[in-house]
Amino acid sequence: MSLELCHMALRQTLDLIALTDGALQDFTRRKFTTDELFREVLGKVLGGNGRRGPAGILIASQGPDSACCDGQVFHLRHGQLLETSEVICIEAGSSYASSLVMVEGGSQVVALNWKDICPSIEEFQTFFHPKVVAAMAEPILNFVSCRISGKPSGVIEAFNYPGRATEYDADVLRSAAVVMGSLVTVSSGMRETEHAFNYTIEALARACEAAEEDTGRHIVRVGRYAGALAANMGFNVEFIQDMSISAQMHDVGKIRIPSEILLKKGMLTPREMALIRQHPAFGSEIIGDSPRLRVAREIAMSHHENWDGTGYPKRLKGEMIPISGRIVKVADVYDALRSRRSYKRALTHEKSLDVFRNGDERINPAGHFDPAVLAAFFRIEHMFDMIYDSSVLKIGLNRSRTGKSKS
């Protein structure tokens, strides 16, 4: 029997190693949340599907208040992982099972069976938080408990293994805890890097905008419209997020155009116009060739191309223009119509819609826009109006606050 248990434990541990390996290889594409990670690991550890495992598992992680762990109990039913409790706040010292391992010192693991330490099953229940006992919906007869090291740290407790909780069960759970701890730490590190990365992009885009007359939030809005269009067109979450961030860099090349030209009130000379038309190439150069900035580079280079091949800088036509550029084209034109420029007044949402339907002296909708992006625009035009209004409203509020503090 113990040899069979040993094989089962080994198989489960190998499963966990394969999961870690796959997750680490996938990390650049998949942005794990702690929840997703926990679920994948739990699915491999819980009993069922021919595996030996516990009937229920409590996962608790340390909240900002280190005196308390927030946890939930999970079960496996018909191959599906179910949360069978609300979030339970386990205060330090309120549960013997948690306290056993919530001491500093790494991956301590404890396996206990009621018969070995208690005169009755009823007394054994007092080792656990009452809400955990209630969530198990059956008396707890044995458990394995293990600390999850990492940021944040936590505890994993597995209840009711068939027969007894053994040292092999403890080994499998300890492997699960190590996997969880390391993946959560890597995942939170990646999130921090991603935030820093996004912040840098926004800061760079803002720096370029300062050179222009629109001190509003043009770049942020263009990012939001572009994300909304990509979502409506059915693109995946990664692409939608990438669009929302990358679209903000569409005019980054303007940093190389003198502000006298960008802010000039009268007509531009042909030389000035030619220089402005170089901003896509400047932008692409500034962004460089990092694979992580591929979409941003595409957008910078192609957001002034027209569907009919009359745009610049490369006069690309139709699907030769990257989809990211075709999306930002619509977003950028809408926001330009709504905004005041030295050479034009701001249009209302309705007037802008009219330009998207019937065109004006500068815009030819059928010739300039990808029909699929244009159709998506008309499906969600109300969102464009909301995005524009919310950003204008925010600026208005900030200004009035500033005004108050000065007076």
What residues make contact with Fe ion under the rule CB under 5 A? 251, 332
Between 87 and 210, name the residue whose CB sits nearer to Fe ion: 210
Using DSSP bridges, classify how beta strands 109-113 and 142-148 pair: parallel, antiparallel or unpaired.
antiparallel
Name the percent of the chain in helix, strand, coil, to the closest 5: 55, 10, 30
What's the Rg (C-alpha) of the chain?
29
CA-to-CA distance for 1 and 386, rounded, in angstroms? 66
CA-to-CA distance for 151 and 172, rounded, in angstroms? 21
- Pick from 71, 88, 83: which is nearest to 145 by CA? 71
Span between the terminal Cα atoms of the chain, in Å: 82
- 3-state SS string over 265-303? CCCCCHHHHHHHCCHHHHHHHHHCCCHHHHHHHHHHHHC
Q: How far is the CB of 219 from Fe ion (least distance, A)?
A: 7
Q: How far is the CB of 309 from Fe ion (least distance, A)?
A: 18
Q: How far is the CB of 208 from Fe ion (least distance, A)?
A: 10
CA-to-CA distance for 348 and 66, rounded, in angstroms? 52
The two structure tokens encoding residue 326? 């075709």
The two structure tokens encoding residue 404? 């108050």
The two structure tokens encoding residue 77? 């039913």
Size of the chain in residues? 407
Taking a C-beta distance cutoff of 8 angstroms, is the pair 272, 264 a contact?
A: yes
Q: How far is the CB of 261 from Fe ion (least distance, A)?
A: 13
Between 169 and 332, name the residue whose CB sits nearer to Fe ion: 332
Using DSSP bridges, classify how beta strands 109-113 and 68-77 pair: parallel, antiparallel or unpaired.
unpaired
- Pick from 226, 230, 220, 280: which is nearest to 250 by CA? 280
Taking a C-beta distance cutoff of 8 angstroms, is the pair 237, 290 a contact?
A: no
Between 13 and 284, name the residue whose CB sits nearer to Fe ion: 284
Q: How far is the CB of 331 from Fe ion (least distance, A)?
A: 9
Residues 387, 393, 394, 396, CA torsion sign: positive
Q: How far is the CB of 293 from Fe ion (least distance, A)?
A: 17
Between 251 and 370, name the residue whose CB sits nearer to Fe ion: 251
CA-to-CA distance for 187 and 17, rounded, in angstroms? 17
Between 157 and 335, name the residue whose CB sits nearer to Fe ion: 335
Q: How far is the CB of 218 from Fe ion (least distance, A)?
A: 6
Q: From the CB of residue 108, how many other CB atoms can be counted at a distance below 10 Å? A: 17
Between 124 and 282, name the residue whose CB sits nearer to Fe ion: 282
Between 100 and 323, name the residue whose CB sits nearer to Fe ion: 323
Between 40 and 251, name the residue whose CB sits nearer to Fe ion: 251
Between 242 and 251, name the residue whose CB sits nearer to Fe ion: 251
